[in-house]
Each structure stands twice: as C-alpha cells, then as structure tokens.
C-alpha cells in the first residue's frame, strides 16, 4: 500500500483528531476529516479536505468513503466526558455505539477494510494490578468506558465475520498541545485538568476543584498517566503504517507508563506559570478510578512506539504556551 493512501478521519476537527491529521500529512497520507463540529473546531482542519456531517448518517459516511477513494478509517468521533456520561448515558450510547455501528456499516458497504479505533483506558475500570497491560480484564465503571468497550467488541465481531483489519488504541490521558503552535486544546466546557489548572493559575477561575482527597494514593488524589497529544498523534500514524503494511489485528495501550497525581499536576502548573493555584476540595466523582497507569511495552514491540514528549514538564509547558487569557473563564487558543 502506498503511503499516499487517503484516510477518513472521523472527529478530525477535535483535539486529538486534528493533531493526528497533522501527523498523517507529515507521514505522507491525505487525511479527509468528517466532523459535525459539536465539539470540534472547523479552523482546526488545516490538512486535507473537510466534510461537515454526523457519523450516524451512514449514507453520508459511505459517500465520503467512495468519493474520496478512502483506503482506511481512523475513528475518533465520540462523546468523551466521564462525568457527563454518568449523568446522561443515553447520549453516549447514541453517539459512541450507534455512531461506531454506522461507520462500520459504511465501511462494509464501501469495501473499506482497514480501521483504526480510538479507544480508552476507561475500558479497564478499576484494575486489580498496575501497570495496566492489554491483558488486564476490562471492567469499565462508567458509561463512557462501557461504550468504548462495546465499540471494541463490535470491531472484533466485524473482523471475525467480515474480515475487517484493525488496530485499537487504548490511550490514557491526552494532554499538552502542538509544539509548533498550530493547534491547541479547546473544549467547551473545559473539563480537563491541565487547562483548568492553567485557567486557575491566571486568576480566571476562583479555584481549581479537586474531586476526592481520600483515595489510597500517596497524597490522596487520583493518579493518571498523561500522554502528550503529539505522541498520541504519532502513535496513530504508526498504527496506520503497521496496518496498511499487513500488520495483524491488535489492541494497544498508548501511555507514558508514568503516573502523576492531581496535586503533582497542580505543582507543575504552578512551577511553569509562576503562579499559585487556589484549590477547592470536593467529594469524589462517580466513575473515577483511583489510579490508571499504562504498561506501554506492547506498543513499543508492535509499532516501535516510544513517547518523546510525555514528561509532565513538556506537557504543561506546551499546554501553557498555547493558551491566552480571554474574557470570563474562557481561554482561547
């Protein structure tokens, strides 16, 4: 398969999807973005054609696949807020499960047989042992994680029945921003820790809410494995090269293998910005496991993937450089 393959990127206007599109172009592919812009940004589509539409419109997806002569699909489009999924699970089953089923149906109809799926460490739930390997039992504790696991199962069933070839990437906490300055993290509302800490550090939020201070961790707050979005983008480009080169079906953890607590992140943001952050401790949120840390060694063996940007200092510095303070609580990239 030539590296000039055309790749449909669902959710390519979003945080991770747009960074992946940039990485795809650098690797010699042509990304074709399909996004309904419910959370993504049209101005983030800077590499390749852009199609406005919803993945649940199977006919639209099929037309995109055929008219752009798509060779493989990279499927990011999904709802992705754990807390929201606990309060309104129906929209997660509609978007994430029905949407993935629609994309898979369009692939069958258009004869596209290579598929890269954006999954999540949320499929593991509360693991019995750390770090988390791909063999760890998947027992998600929130609807978001359950919808991602259902997506994985649908893809596996399509592989068995229809010969779909796939790579599933279960990544951990995406963070940071494009080091070259062309893309940044923009969510409305913002729920991710590092942007919220930056907002609080610049005085545009009265305090940073910390949900849970009584976990069985060294400082009582949750511990997460943060992976730079630039590293995530490279993992997707590498997975595509592997798949189009004849690689076998596989699921891989994409993380740094290092864990940082909420208070670790606060301390690093304070160091980078030179500003103190006021904290407001709140009860634990339902659906939040205490510790999630990846074992990334299988991705290294299969893809040759090693993180280059995912030390916490680089992550926070890159995120900080891409934010300027706007009115109210908003930060605009």
Q: How far apart are CA 318 and CA 306, in angstroms?
A: 19
Tens digits of residue pLDDT in 248-307:
999 999 999 999 999 999 999 999 999 999 999 999 988 788 999 999 999 999 999 999
Average pLDDT, stretch 140-159?
Answer: 97
Whether the CB-CB separation of 27 and 44 falls below 8 Å is answered with no
Q: Check whether 321 has a pLDDT greater than 90.
A: no
Q: How far apart are CA 181 and CA 314, in angstroms?
A: 14
Token couple for 292: 């999630």
Average pLDDT, stretch 124-153?
Answer: 96
pLDDT at residue 203, rounded to an integer:
85
Q: How far apart are CA 315 and CA 258, in angstroms?
A: 13
Q: Which residue has the tokens 């890269």?
A: 116
Q: How far apart are CA 77 and CA 87, in angstroms?
A: 20
CA atoms within 13 A on the CB side of 143: 19
Q: How far apart are CA 285 and CA 142, in angstroms?
A: 11
Mean pLDDT score of the chain, rounded to an integer?
Answer: 93
Q: Quickly count: other Cβ atoms within 10 Å of residue 126's Cβ.
A: 12
Q: How far apart are CA 226 and CA 189, in angstroms?
A: 20
pLDDT over 70 for what percent of the chain? Answer: 96
- pLDDT-derived band at 327 (thresholds 50, 70, 90) equals very low
The rounded Cα 254 to chain-centroid distance in angstroms is: 10
Is residue 144 part of the annotated active site? The answer reads yes
- pLDDT-derived band at 241 (thresholds 50, 70, 90) equals very high
Short-list 163, 154, 81, 131, CA closest to 253: 131
Tell me the CA end-to-end span of the chain in Å, nearest whole number: 37
Q: Which CATH superfamily is domain 6-175+227-254 in?
A: NAD(P)-binding Rossmann-like Domain (3.40.50.720)
- pLDDT-derived band at 333 (thresholds 50, 70, 90) equals very low
Which of 124, 144, 215, 260 is the catalytic position?
144
Q: Under CATH, which number does the domain 193-224+257-293+302-332 receive?
A: 3.90.25.10
pLDDT at residue 83, rounded to an integer:
87
Q: How far apart are CA 208 and CA 45, in angstroms?
A: 31
Residue 230 sits at the vertex; the CA angle it makes with 223 and 274, to the nearest 5 degrees, is: 60
Average pLDDT, stretch 94-105?
Answer: 98
pLDDT at residue 323, rounded to an integer:
62
Q: Quickly count: other Cβ atoms within 10 Å of residue 241's Cβ.
A: 18
Q: Check whether 328 has a pLDDT greater than 80.
A: no
Short-list 200, 224, 202, 220, CA closest to 212: 220
Q: Check whether 1 has a pLDDT greater than 60.
A: no
Domain ranges of the chain: 6-175+227-254, 193-224+257-293+302-332
Q: How far apart are CA 34 and CA 32, in angstroms?
A: 7
Write the CA distances from 145 to 97, 133, 170, integer angstroms. 11, 16, 11
Average pLDDT, stretch 167-196?
Answer: 89
Q: Which residue has the tokens 């730079």?
A: 228
pLDDT at residue 331, rounded to an integer:
37
Write the CA distances from 121 to 134, 137, 255, 292, integer angstroms. 10, 11, 9, 8
Token couple for 193: 């820790």
Higher pLDDT, 181 or 292: 292
């Amino acid at each position: 398969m030539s590296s000039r393959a055309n790749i449909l990127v669902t959710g390519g206007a979003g945080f991770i999807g747009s960074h992946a599109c940039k990485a795809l172009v650098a690797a010699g592919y042509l990304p074709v973005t399909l996004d309904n812009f419910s959370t993504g940004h049209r101005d983030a589509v800077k590499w390749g054609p852009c199609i406005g539409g919803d993945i649940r419109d199977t006919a639209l997806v099929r037309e995109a696949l055929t008219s752009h002569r798509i060779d493989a699909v990279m499927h990011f489009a999904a709802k992705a807020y754990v807390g929201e999924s606990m309060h309104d699970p129906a929209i997660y089953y509609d978007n994430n499960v029905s949407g993935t089923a629609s994309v898979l149906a369009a692939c069958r109809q258009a004869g596209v047989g290579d598929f890269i799926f954006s999954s999540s460490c949320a499929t593991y739930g509360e693991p019995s042992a750390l770090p988390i390997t791909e063999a760890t039992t998947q027992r998600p504790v929130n609807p978001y994680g359950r919808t991602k696991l259902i997506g994985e199962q649908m893809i596996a069933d399509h592989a068995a029945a229809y010969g779909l070839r796939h790579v599933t990437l279960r990544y951990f906490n995406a963070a940071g921003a494009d080091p070259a300055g062309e893309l940044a993290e923009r969510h409305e509302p913002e729920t991710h820790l590092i942007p919220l800490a930056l907002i609080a550090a610049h005085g545009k939020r009265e305090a940073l809410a910390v949900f849970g201070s009584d976990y069985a961790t060294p400082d009582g707050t949750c511990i997460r494995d943060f992976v730079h979005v630039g590293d995530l983008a490279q993992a997707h480009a590498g997975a595509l090269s592997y798949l189009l080169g004849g690689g076998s079906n596989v699921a891989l953890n994409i993380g740094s293998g290092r864990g940082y607590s909420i208070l670790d992140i606060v301390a690093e943001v304070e160091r980078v910005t030179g500003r103190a952050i006021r904290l407001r401790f709140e009860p634990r949120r339902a659906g939040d496991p205490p510790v999630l840390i990846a074992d990334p060694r299988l991705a290294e063996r299969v893809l040759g993937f090693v993180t280059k940007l995912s030390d916490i200092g680089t992550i926070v510095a890159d995120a900080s450089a891409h934010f300027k303070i706007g009115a109210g609580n908003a930060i605009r990239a």
